[in-house]
Amino acid sequence: MDIVKEACVEGYQEAIQAKKLGADRIELCSSLNEDGLTPDRKTITSVFKAMNIPVKIMIRPRKGNFIYSQKEISQMESDIIFCKKQGIKEVVFGCLDNKERVDIDTLNRLANISYPMKITFHKAIDHTHDILVEMDRLVKAKSVASVLTSGGSTYVLNKKTLLMKILENFKGKLNIIIAGGISENNFDNLHQVFQWNEYHGRRIVGNLSNAKKVG
């Protein structure tokens, strides 16, 4: 089993450090204290040019919920188009409606702009009324390649039963990336539990907080 460790980073120096520490893929964000927002365009360009491993870009225009106005959706479209022009292969976003369901209309709108880039639907899925139901809707939408989920908890083992069910139900239908409190220190133990191939974390290859925060 080829294991992918996806490091969630904030800025250029953290991306460089994560790669040196063995990350297989980078998710680039800004404002991780707000659970990750769209990075500025200079940082997107500099990180992408410096990496020889895959880089995914967070597309999230503001903190808070995932119910977006038309103006915010237009901003997301603009950021997606910028990423596509740089040659980036995958973007990360999520959109919900006011009934705690995936907003399929907005998803399709953003997916059309994103093509042929791949799409990861982020942990907005964990804020839905029923993760299994909404993941099935993502499968039917046919526009999402991967889903990032912790099962709705800050720590993966808190939702072990649900996560196992997600992995069982959607293997081969969606690429599931497990997230939620995964670190370099607990990775081996968690992998023994889940026996999965893709994991995501802020500290999955070590502590990046010592990296100098420059663009």
> Residues 71-108: pLDDT tens digits?
999 999 999 999 999 999 999 999 999 999 999 999 99
pLDDT at 214: 42
Residue 215 scores a pLDDT above 80: no
pLDDT at 34: 87
Task: Tell me how far apart the alpha carbons of residues 184 and 205 are, in angstroms, rounded to a whole number.
Answer: 5
What is the CATH number assigned to the segment(s) 4-201?
Answer: 3.20.20.380
- Per-residue pLDDT of 144-176, as tens digits, reads 999 999 999 999 999 999 999 999 999 999 999
The stretch 121-135 carries a mean pLDDT of 97
Residue 52 scores a pLDDT above 80: yes
How high is the mean pLDDT of the chain? 95
The stretch 109-128 carries a mean pLDDT of 97
Residue 194 scores a pLDDT above 50: yes
Residue 1 scores a pLDDT above 90: no
pTM assigned to the model: 0.95
